[in-house]
Amino acid sequence: MPSRSLKDKVVVVAGASRNLGSLIATEVAADGAHVVVHYNSPSSRQGAEQTAEAVKAAGGEAVVHEADLSRRVEVEGLFEVAEGAFGRVDCVVNTAGMVIKKPLTEVSEEEYDRMFAVNAKAAFLVMQQAARRVQDGGKIVTIVTSLLAAYTGLYSVYAGSKAPVEHFTRALSKELFGRNISVNNIAPGPMDTSFFYPAETDDSIAYHKSSAMNGELTKIEDIVPWVKFLLTDGWWLNGQTVFVNGGYTTR
């Protein structure tokens, strides 16, 4: 049976300056991967550099690069940096996202455009470049949301802008038949990170916690093993969205 190890693999982690992306970068480095640490804007640079230091401390090599993933030329530049630093790309994990919580009737056109730029267009462009650049046998993973399986208000433009990624994933996974490249999504429950809290109230936080089997929010430490699984022994899973959320939603 061929080895499914991450040792010496080149992994591009989009949105790696903090939270889940940062932990993924560090954990794959501990398994021997070389990591491209992506961040979106100057305000995230310090976090990205700290992630890169953690990658190196874990035994991996790291390169840090800023890119607006909603612009094709900058996504191309991210992959060019990866190839320039390490010679190839084996795996891509995209954790980038943006959330707005409000009634559909109150979402402005500007908010709509920004949400779809970050959650749908950026995911599309990353997947497109990954499909062109990833080595045969590679892996492409996108982080979406368990709200894709929820019957709820207030998250229309958030879940709605993540929903297209499922269709991108199904199509791309089929188009890459013959290259042994798997393409999947992971849909976490609400995560106990700085990404989650600004949009919520004490009451809504309590509700989200009560909806999972242990009465807690999803922890980033709960998601990383699933990411690593899809990058290694989970290679046969393809074209899927995996809901990793303690039963918060099911489908």
Return the active site residues: 158
* Amino acid of residue 44: S
Distances (CA, A) of 96 to 19, 54, 145: 11, 19, 12
Task: Classify burial at 53, counting beta carbons within 10 Å of its beta carbon; exposed 0-12, middle 13-18, buried 19 or more.
Answer: middle
Q: Which two tokens stand for residue 105?
A: 């009737």
- Separation of alpha carbons 139 and 87, rounded Å: 17
What's 217's DSSP letter? P
Q: Residues near 225 by Cβ (< 8 Å), separated by ≥ 6?
A: none
**Which H or E run includes 41?**
none
- Separation of alpha carbons 161 and 164, rounded Å: 6
Q: Which two tokens stand for residue 155?
A: 């998250």
244, 188 contact by CB (below 8 A): yes
Q: Which two tokens stand for residue 199?
A: 């949009």
- Separation of alpha carbons 91 and 12, rounded Å: 6
